[in-house]
Amino acid sequence: MMLAIDFVVVAVIFVAAVGAMSCKNLVSSVLLGGLASLVASYLFLRMGAPDVAMTEAAIGAALTTVIFLVATRRTQEVEE
């Protein structure tokens, strides 16, 4: 049962990664990357590595998202 859940979760990460690659809007790519980070954290926990999962959680939940958003806003400002 846990193995079936693992398969579905890996399919979700694959879809998120492909979607983040092929999105035209930068904000949507950042959001799909955030989903990939969240699911990767669950997979680390499933494989028995809570330290790595906590690192992924602490960095991917707030910090990476905000840094990408601020960078997107700055570069768009320069081009306008």
Partner 1 sequence: MAETLVLVALGIALLAGMLATVQLVRGPDAATRAVALDAITLITLPMMVGLALVVGRSIYIDVALVYAILSFLGVVAFARYLDRGI
Partner 2 sequence: MKQLIGSVFVLVMGLFLWSLVPLLGPSAGYLSTYFTQHGVADNHTANLVTAVVVNYRGFDTLGEVLVLFASVSGATFVLRRRDGLPTAQPWPASEFLATGARALFAPLVVFGAYIFVHGHLTPGGGFQGGAVVASAVLMLLLVNRDRHLPHGLMTWLESLSGFGFVLTGLIGLAVGGSFLSNKGLMPLGEWNTLFSGGLIPIIYVLVGIKVGAELSALLDVMFHSTGDADHQEGQA
Out of 10, 14, 21, 73, the residue judged to bind partner 1 by CB under 8 A: 73
Distance CA 18, CA 34 (A): 13
2 binds, among partner 2, partner 1, none (CB under 5 to 8 A by kind): partner 1
Tokens at residue 22, please?
């092929």
Q: What is the DSSP letter of 80?
A: -
Rule CB under 8 A: say whether 2 interacts with partner 1: yes
Is residue 28 within the footprint of partner 2 (CB under 8 A)? no
Residue numbers of the site for partner 1 (CB under 8 A)? 1-2, 5, 8-9, 12, 15-16, 19, 25, 27-28, 31-32, 34-35, 38-39, 41-42, 45-46, 50, 53-54, 57-58, 61-62, 65-66, 69-70, 73
